[in-house]
Amino acid sequence: MSAVPSMAINNILLLAAIAALLVLAAVIIGGYVYRDAKRRGMYALRWALIAALAPALMGFIIYLLTRTPRTDGKSGLGGIGFVIASLIVIPIFLLYFASMLKNRDSGVRIKTPYNTALTFEAYCEEKDAQTAEKVRQWLDTLPGKNSTRHTPVGLLRYDAEYRGEPRRFYLAALPNTGRTPLIESGVVDGLFTSTLVINAMHSGDYYPDYTLYSFSLSGNEPDRFKAIIGVNELEVELTAVDYNPTVFYIVPDYSKVDYNDDLFLPDKLTIRKNSSEGYIGSSRHSFVAGIDIDERREVFELLKIIDSAELLDHLEAHGQTYSDLFTVTTVYGKRSEHVTHWDSVTFLITLGKESGDCIIFDESRNDFYYLKTDRSFYDRLSALFEP
Amino acid sequence: MRNIYDFEAEKPPALNENVLRDTLEKKRSKRLALLLMFAYLPVYATAALLAARAYKTDQILTGICIAFIAFSALGSLLCAAAFSVKEDRKHECSTINGNK
């Protein structure tokens, strides 16, 4: 996160350096011409201004070609070597600084694990009636559902948070894209701004309503949103809402809630034991055994331990060697067919050989975190597989 | 033998050390002017590089860079044109005066 502003500041400093060099060049030229013109009995100030301000050094070039002989009887170019050397070196530095400008790391992370573009009818099946009605009302306020020309694309945003980091959920209403458009979205980072681009290709069939596309972001919010539908580049009209309009589940932080029967929980946890050898970030696993845990209380207890774990620095986690690994997959019955659903991804749980801690790779909330807890959690998982 | 040039008609140009030095300085100045024209090319390259880098996300910066290149090129062209017209006139006048 902290890298984002510093990157922008670096670019600002580099641009400031470029501007300072241009000013320096103008001052060197103006100073030289003023001194030289005085010695030649020319209009010193006028020529100095012309030389310093005329574009592309043209004023200076014209001065050099038109200046009269010196009135003091002396000859020579009068220290022009320094000026020329400066004017050769400064542009080279300008080019060097410009090449050092880096695209900012916007810190925007987007995750759309499966194509979440749904027709409104399919969307209603996924969502509760109240949310579907709110979305319907919003869709009715949007202009031109059958046109992709000059029509802004509607986008709803719901703000959530996990471990102090913002997580944003978006629902885009894409006009005239058919029932199952192919959508690619990504963040384009520029020198100073970042743009999230939603690129949708028409599926070829006719669908008279908006196609609803869910995606979520963690980290920073992009500066701009842009939608490209077919060949039309459209602006995006963003509206913040106080409900989750996407088809994604918002998983609570289980370390901060108490168990109750209505608590949102996965239908089961699938735990697999793997024989592995490697280091964090790179390894090979081979499946040993698997079990399902569907007792709600136990599911909650395991997730609570994971959410209570301490956040671990990536650098600290990487490079630790380990053997054997558990994978925990959260499975939600309603959408179990979406095996790569972002709420159904796995936790990797292992024991770091160097630290002796239980290390958890958590990818359950549209981002990835390394977490650390004591080895009792690892032992608890191991005990599940004991005969 | 018939001379093709009347050496008596005009006085030869006064030649002294100062005149030679001025001539030398003018020659040097012309070389420097040529060098300066090339020295400015990296500035254009810088602006073009910035414009290309910022094209996708920072169109305003791209616009500023392109405007700078256009203004700079056009301005220098106008300056050069104005200067050459003035030089031509000066040359014309001196030729006419010389012929008198």
Interface test with A, best of B16, B43, B74 (most A CBs within 10 A): B43
Apex B78 CA angle, B77 and B81, nearest 5: 85
Q: Nearest residue of B to residue A195 by CA position?
A: B57
Residue B92: φ, ψ to 5°? -60, -50
Q: Do B80 and A101 touch (CB under 8 A)?
A: no
Q: Nearest residue of B to residue A67 by CA position?
A: B26
* Least confident stretch, A257-261, A313-317, B31-35: A313-317
Question: Could you read off the pLDDT of A52-87 as tens digits, one per residue?
Answer: 888 888 888 888 888 887 776 666 566 777 888 888
Biggest alpha carbon–alpha carbon distance for chain A: 108
* Distance (Å, whole) CA B29 – CA B12: 26
B25 touches chain A (CB under 8 A): yes
* Distance (Å, whole) CA A58 – CA A51: 7
Question: Could you read off the pLDDT of B6-29 as tens digits, one per residue?
Answer: 767 777 677 777 778 778 878 888
The ranges assigned to domains in chain A are 3-100, 108-240, 254-384
Q: Do A87 and B36 touch (CB under 8 A)?
A: yes
Q: What is the mean pLDDT of residues A299-321?
A: 86
* Distance (Å, whole) CA B91 – CA A177: 70
Average pLDDT value over all residues in chain B: 79
Q: Residue A342: its pLDDT value, please?
A: 41
* ipTM for this prediction: 0.72
3-state secondary structure of A76: coil
The CA distances from residue A385 to A290, B60, B98, in Å, are: 8, 61, 111
Q: Residue A65 is which amino acid?
A: L
Tokens coding A108: 């925007």
A54, A76, A189: residue with CB nearest B79:
A54
Q: What percent of chain B has pLDDT over 90?
A: 3
Q: Do A195 and B22 touch (CB under 8 A)?
A: no
Q: Do B40 and A188 touch (CB under 8 A)?
A: no
pLDDT band of B30, cuts 50, 70, 90: confident
pLDDT exceeds 50 at position A5: no
Whether A241 contacts A160, CB under 8 Å? no
Contact residues on chain B for A88, CB-CB shorter than 8 A = 35, 39
Residues 9-38, chain A, touching B (beta carbon < 8 A): 18, 22
Q: Do A188 and B56 touch (CB under 8 A)?
A: yes
Q: How far is A68 from chain B (nearest CA, A)?
A: 9
Q: Residue A147: its pLDDT value, please?
A: 59
pLDDT exceeds 80 at position A265: yes
Neighbours of A271 (CB within 10 A): 21
Q: Residue A337: its pLDDT value, please?
A: 45
pLDDT band of B34, cuts 50, 70, 90: confident
Neighbours of A365 (CB within 10 A): 24
pLDDT band of A272, cuts 50, 70, 90: confident
pLDDT exceeds 60 at position A230: yes
Tokens coding A105: 């790391």
B28 touches chain A (CB under 8 A): yes
Average pLDDT value over all residues in chain A: 81
Q: Nearest residue of B to residue A196 by CA position?
A: B57
The ranges assigned to domains in chain B are 17-99
* Residue pairs between chains A and B whose CB atoms are closer than 8 Å: 115
